[in-house]
Every structure is written in C-alpha cells, then in structure tokens.
Copies of this chain bind each other. A is one copy, B any other.
C-alpha cells in the first residue's frame, strides 16, 4: 500500500525543516509548500527547495502571494527595520508579525491537500519562542482544524483533515535534538530575518538569538553560517 500523503509548510528555517523530517519519519510521502510573499530574506526560498530534495519530498511548490496584503510587518515592509533581539514582554506582539500569515498558508495547504488527496498538513507553529504570535497558539490550531473539517468536499465525504504542529510545545533545544536525531543538516536551513543572499545569518535578530541559544543549550556546535 502506498504511504499516505502529507502537505508540509516549509519556510526553509530550522523549525519547518525539522517538521518535514518528523512527517517523513511518521511514514508520510511529503509535498512541500513554500511561499514567496515578498519577504526580504530571499535565501530561505532556495533553502526550502534544497531541504525538500534532501528529505525526498515527492513534490515542492513555491507559490507567489501578492505582497500588498502583508503590510505593516518588519518582515515585508522596507520602511520598518527588523530589530535586534530584546526581551519582549510576553504579551506583546512582535513587529515581525505578518497579518493572518499562518491562516493564509494553512488555507493554501488545505487546497493542495484536498487536490492531491492528502488528509494531513504539517506546520512548524511553536509557542515557546513565539508566544506573541496569535496564530501559533494551540487554541488557534484547534480552531483551524475544526474549520477545515467543515470547509472541504473531502471532509464532507468523511475524510478528516488533521493539522499537525509537532513542535508547538517544544523549546528550541528539544526541536534541534529531534531534528539532529532525524538527520536534519541545519547548516542548510535559513532562520535569520536578515539573512544575506547566500543565506548567511546576522546573528542578532530574534530568530538568530533563539536558534543560537538552542544549539548552545544542547551543547552541540552551531552549524549556522554567519555573515
């Protein structure tokens, strides 16, 4: 019998690359889905393609999204600088928040899943490092799954859709440990919000800071390529 198919949202960063490894390890044939939404760090798009191949995904899709929707985020708006890491108030929503991003990404994944007959979608939502992003919380993910199971023809015909967020409660150290055990080559992944076009990291943004600390806390060498 063929393996079940899954759609995996893959940004090319540490988290989503680990998620791809987990989905593969769980026996899924994976289709990876990346988005060009005008993000300043373009190197993650190349990274996602390489990582998709490295994990033997059965297909990789890069979808362009109109950037005019994603205003007022430091990840897309060239008039807002991505800040260095600061200990944020946990209640505060970071300037790197992109309006409804995960909702749009999951909705595209849902369409793709239904088109290819997949009942499983994987994504790298995580609340430990990203507690300020509303669309990374477990209650959001549950609400999304409930909505998805009312939205599609597949669901109406009894094919339940599962939204998997296997990292949601893991800290960076645990994520890295899991990925290393599954063979993820983290030197290929690009997490930095200010990566250069070779995919080399700045070392100082929120994303770099969490990642660096993860390797340090785990006591393994940080394979990240820095600028």
A residues apposed to B, CB below 8 Å: 61, 63-64, 66, 68-72, 93, 97, 99-104, 106-108, 110-112, 114-115, 134-135, 137, 139-140, 143-144, 146-148, 150-153, 155-157
Contact = CB atoms under 8 A, between A and B. Distances in A.
A66 B64 contact: yes
B143 A99 contact: no
25 contacts: A61-B68, A64-B64, A70-B115, A71-B115, A93-B156, A99-B112, A100-B107, A100-B110, A100-B111, A101-B111, A104-B104, A104-B107, A104-B108, A104-B110, A106-B107, A107-B107, A134-B150, A134-B151, A134-B152, A135-B151, A135-B152, A137-B150, A140-B147, A143-B146, A146-B146
In the complex this chain forms, how many copies of it are found? 2
Contact of A153 (B69, B93, B114): B93
